[in-house]
Amino acid sequence: GESVGLHLPTLSVQEGDNSIINCAYSNSASDYFIWYKQESGKGPQFIIDIRSNMDKRQGQRVTVLLNKTVKHLSLQIAATQPGDSAVYFCAEIFNTDKLIFGTGTRLQVFP
Amino acid sequence: EAQVTQNPRYLITVTGKKLTVTCSQNMNHEYMSWYRQDPGLGLRQIYYSMNVEVTDKGDVPEGYKVSRKEKRNFPLILESPSPNQTSLYFCASSWSSNQPQHFGDGTRLSIL
């Protein structure tokens, strides 16, 4: 498959444990944030989003937390499964049309 | 099935030989965008389009052109490719710029 990054920070977790992936964003004026998952050989896939007027949003097995004070975003995955192994990107949008991606974190799930 | 389709998926070519990577979406999205993905640099936006006949530069537009003559298609053109354009390219679309984007599966370009 395609390699999306040879020098990505890597998070290794055991199957069934919870995962927390962190992201520091760059612009205090950003008002919309998205987490994407990228599997080998595929394009990024939307996981969950959050607007700047919220500090927490939950989906199915995933939760995004937003701390605007320190410009920090996190993605929590509950009961991590082998299928969660991928590279995860955060993205921020400001000025309604500028989308900036983080460099990504590789999540490895081992049995 | 809702999808963004890029062609070709892989291409090896030589410096200076013009090439076009096509992108088509079947979701009637207004917003489309091109990105390149390089190790350690993540995804960087090349060009985007808010609607038909409306295109704007992203963060790394040098050496690229785009057109948006119809809503579903957004081709990326490299008039005179150079080795520093060797990369993995993604096309994406969404209803608007502040909505989650749907991505194609990527085009691996190698410029020798």
Q: What is the pLDDT of residues B32-85, one digit of tens each?
A: 999 999 988 889 999 999 999 999 999 899 999 999 999 999 999 999 999 999
For chain A, percent of residues with pLDDT exceeding 90: 74
Distance separating alpha carbons of residues A26 and B4, to the nearest angstrom = 29
Q: State both tokens at A38.
A: 């990228």
- A91-106 pLDDT per residue, tens: 998 776 778 888 899 9
- Judged by CB atoms closer than 8 Å, whether chains meet at B103 and A45 is answered as yes
Residue A82: phi, psi to the nearest 5? -55, -35
Q: Is A96 left (phi over 0), alpha (psi -120 to 50) or beta?
A: left
Q: What is the pLDDT of residue B79?
A: 96
- Residue A55 scores a pLDDT above 90: yes
- Residue A111 scores a pLDDT above 70: yes
- Judged by CB atoms closer than 8 Å, whether chains meet at B90 and A3 is answered as no
Q: What is the pLDDT of residue A7?
A: 60
Asked if A63 contacts A57 with a C-beta cutoff of 8 angstroms, the reply is yes
**For an interface test with A, which of B32, B37, B41, B54 has the most A Cβ atoms less than 10 Å from its Cβ?**
B37
Distance separating alpha carbons of residues B103 and B100, to the nearest angstrom = 10
Identity at B32, one-letter amino acid code? M
Query: Which residue in the set A7, A31, A43 is minimally distant from B106, CB to CB?
Result: A43
Q: For residue A44, which residues of chain B lie inside 8 Å, CB to CB?
A: 43, 90, 92, 101, 103
Which chain A residue has the Cα nearest residue B39? Answer: A5
- Judged by CB atoms closer than 8 Å, whether chains meet at B56 and A97 is answered as yes
- A5-32 pLDDT per residue, tens: 446 789 999 999 999 999 998 888 888 9
Which chain A residue has the Cα nearest residue B43? Answer: A101
Q: How far is the alpha carbon of B34 from chain A, nearest alpha carbon, in Å?
A: 11
- Residue B28 scores a pLDDT above 50: yes
